[in-house]
Amino acid sequence: MSFTNKKIIAGNWKMNGLKNEAWQLTNDLLSKFESPDQKLQFEMIICPPATLLSEVVSMVDGSPIKVGAQNCSDKLNGAYTGEISPTMIKDIGAQFVILGHSERRSYYGETNEIVSQKAFSALSQGLTPIICIGETLEQKENGSALAVIEDQFTNSIPEGASIENIIIAYEPVWAIGTGKVATLQDIIDIHTKIREVSEKKLGSRNISILYGGSVKPSNAKDIFSLQDVDGVLVGGASLNADDFWNIAMES
């Protein structure tokens, strides 16, 4: 799946949203579209919690909005209590899955190898992984950001991946939920590095790269102005239909 001609606007709801709230937010988003077949310059993906996936998929059926999960197991089925497999996510009707988010890496100990295994399983079921990479503030300040990015990309990308079937999300850890945003030059430098590593790993620079980290309507236009930004992964602002839509319209 390639999105080279359109910007990708992905919303990560994280652990937010009860049934009524999800119904309201999704309906508010759907009301923004003039018609189900409206031609837009962007692809919109929303990633609600697992408890809401099935309902949101049903709500957006026939609309331009696509749905993704926030995580999955590397196993397809079996005695893994509490896990959700990519087979189950696919069966619900979702098409994407966020993997390797910094919160998963830092809070739950997910390594590059674990992310790679999960992405391999997701690909085997026809899901498109949105693989997150990004440096911490300490890594940025000690000058190792580019090396960290190369290591995470190289070792989080599974066998069978290509520029057509995965999406990369660059999220500087220090900018997630903090209100801090990487400078435009920071984004250029890291996205350029990602493309260089992609060429070595996958044979092409033309991979879809999203920027994530305190993206808001007020800074979206500047971020989208950068040639190497193919879209955004939005956290908090994706919980407000007006903000999320206004970000998309800046693309």
Catalytic residue list: 101, 171
CB 192 within 8 A of CB 175: no
* 183 membership: H or E segment, kind and range: none
Q: What's the number of CA atoms in the CB half-sphere (13 Å) around residue 65? A: 29
Cα angle, residue 153 at apex, residues 193 and 68 outer, rounded to 5°:
115
Give which of 141, 149, 223, 147 is closest to 181, Cα–Cα. 223
Q: Report d(CA 132, CA 243) in Å as an integer.
A: 22
3-state secondary structure of 1: coil
Kind of pairing, strands 208-212 and 167-170? parallel
Under DSSP, the state recorded for 209 is E
CB 217 within 8 A of CB 246: yes
Q: Report d(CA 186, CA 174) in Å as an integer.
A: 13
Whole-angstrom Cα Rg for the chain: 17
Give which of 8, 1, 3 is closest to 248, Cα–Cα. 8
Residue 146 has φ and ψ, to the nearest 5°, of -65, -40
